Amino acid sequence: MSVTFAIVGSGWRSEFFLRIAAALPDRFAVTGLVTRSAETAADIERRFGVPGHPDLDALLAAGAPDFVVVSVPRDIAPGVIVDLVERGIPVLTETPPAGDLDALLALWERVARPGAPTVQVAEQYHLSPLLSAQLAVARSGRLGRPSQALVAQCHDYHGVSVMRRALGVGAEDALISASVFRSPLVAGPGRGGDPTEERIVIATQTSARFAFGDDRLGRYDFAGEQYFSWIRGNRLLVRGERGEIENAEVRWLRRFDEPAFDSLRRVMTGEGGNLEGMFLRGILLGDEWVFRNPFLPARLNDDEIAIARMLDGMPRAIDGGGDVYSLAEASQDHYLALLMQQAAESGEPVRSSRQPWADRIAVDAVAG
């Protein structure tokens, strides 16, 4: 039986959910979408066969989904989340769940009560194939206990989320310092496609240091222009006392005098003379699968695979069987990212403090 969900919002991110449901009709079904634009509603119905509705009342009157995806701006999202929870409907909300710390605290107060429907957050990066494989290596024991992580993958709370998981950090306090560096960069493609002329933009790069006690260090390094740039690549480095993973390369000690070296390898179909279709089968480290695609043979990109994994995990989260990515985790990651921005703007280190959601963050959930 397929998972049913509805969507509030009709922006760029909403179409990811629509495309995934269209590619996996046996797994997911979208019951409807809320948009204020009649023109957008007609376009969505024409392209995806999903009916549009002007408001939440009309959406829910047309049928009760298993949960609702909230994909609206961060200043609007808390009100929609609270409305759904008060109606008894589980939520998967886009990141971040609220704009600032006060809004996070207010949202937590309203929806994190015992017995309330679950609120999960659509943080997909740690579920994407390559990062999922890299994090699996980090927690496999090959590296020993991870003590250092450099994340140059994604912005703000996304990068913090990957960093915490790489280090196995839960809600521990951090001392955060940060700085900003601006430099010229030839613009790459964007959401609308390839560039049509050479154009120089100023890339704003934030570099930050997160000291979690005396034995774990996270480093963040990212400029927003990196997302679509052809000449600014992603990087991940995780180090423990017995080894390290640096992007696709893994180096570790089988024993003190026996080093081992291997690489992560993507296994794709549709290349050369392969006639299986076009999809990712998984990622290997030597002869070990460190990631297997659960949605083959659907033709999904890595980001869509990650989002599909969130959708697939929602029934389990609703039944209390384990979080997809909890509101507690999302709140902590956004809180730390806000402190990073504060440190970058002021030039002074800041220290985090324990927040109301801290007890809901389990280290095993962070590592999973």
Q: What is the pLDDT of residues 250-266, one digit of tens each?
A: 999 999 999 999 999 99
Domain ranges across the chain:
3-122, 126-299
Could you read off the pLDDT of 305-345 as tens digits, one per residue? 999 999 999 999 999 999 999 999 999 999 999 999 999 99
Residue 29 is predicted with a pLDDT of 96
- Predicted confidence (pLDDT) per residue in 165-176, tens digit: 999 999 999 999
Full-model pTM: 0.94
Does 3-122 match 126-299 in CATH topology? Answer: no
DSSP H stretches of helix in the chain: 14-23, 38-48, 56-61, 77-86, 101-111, 129-138, 156-167, 302-318, 327-346, 363-367
CATH match of 3-122 with 3.30.70.640? no
- Distance between CA 234 and CA 136 in Å, rounded? 18
Q: If you classify domain 126-299 with CATH, what class do you get? A: alpha beta
Preceding omega of 297 cis (within 30 degrees of 0): yes
Question: If pLDDT is split at 50, 70 and 90, which confidence band does 275 have?
Answer: confident
Task: Give me the pLDDT at residue 367, please.
Answer: 63
Are residues 278 and 271 in contact, defined by beta-carbon separation less than 8 angstroms? no
Tell me the pLDDT band of 368, cut-offs 50, 70 and 90.
low
- Are β-strands 3-8 and 235-240 bridged in parallel, bridged antiparallel, or unpaired? unpaired
Contacts with 345 (C-beta within 8 Å, 6 or more apart), sequence order: none
What is the per-residue pLDDT for 268? 95
